[in-house]
A = this chain, B = another copy of it.
Amino acid sequence: MTNPVRLIKVRESIQADNDQRAQVLKSELKAVKTLMINLMSSPGAGKTSLLLQTTGRLKDEHRMAVIEADIDSSVDAERLAASGVEAIQLQTDGFCHLDVMMVTQALDTMDPRAFDIIFLENVGNLVCPAEFATGAALDVMILSVPEGDDKPLKYPLMFSKCEALIVNKIDYLDTPLTDFDLELLEERVRKLNKEIRIFPLSCRTGEGMEAWTGWLAEKTAEHNG
Q: Measuring CB to CB, which residues of chain A are less than 8 angstroms from any residue of chain B?
A: 42-44, 70-73, 75, 94, 96, 123-128, 131, 144, 146-148, 150-151, 153-157, 169, 171-172, 175, 177, 204
Are A153 and B72 in contact (CB-based, < 8 A)? Answer: yes
Q: Which of B43, B73, B151, B204 contacts A126 (CB 8 A)?
A: B43
Report the copy number of this chain in the oligomer: 2
Closest 6 CB pairs of A and B: A44-B147, A146-B146, A96-B127, A73-B153, A42-B43, A44-B148
Q: Are A75 and B154 in contact (CB under 8 A)?
A: yes
A172 to chain B, nearest CB (A): 6
Among A43, A126, A169, find the residue whose CB has the most chain B CB atoms closer than 10 A: A43
Given contacts A71-B156, A156-B72, contact A124 B44 (CB under 8 A): no
Bound CA–CA A147/B155 (angstroms): 18
17 contacts between A and B (CB under 8 A): A43-B126, A43-B151, A44-B148, A70-B154, A71-B156, A72-B154, A73-B153, A75-B154, A123-B127, A124-B155, A125-B128, A128-B128, A146-B146, A146-B147, A146-B169, A146-B172, A175-B177
Cα–Cα, bound, A153→B76 (Å): 10
Residues in B with CB closer than 8 Å to A125 are: 96, 125-128
Query: CA A175 – CA B72 in complex, angstroms?
Result: 30
Distance in angstroms from A102 CB to nearest chain B CB is 15
A96: B residues at CB distance < 8 A: 96, 125, 127-128
Residues of chain B lying within 8 A (CB to CB) of residue A157:
71, 94
The complex places the Cα of A42 from the Cα of B96 at a distance, in Å, of: 13
Given contacts A75-B153, A96-B125, 5 further A-B contacts (CB under 8 A): A42-B43, A43-B126, A94-B157, A124-B154, A175-B177
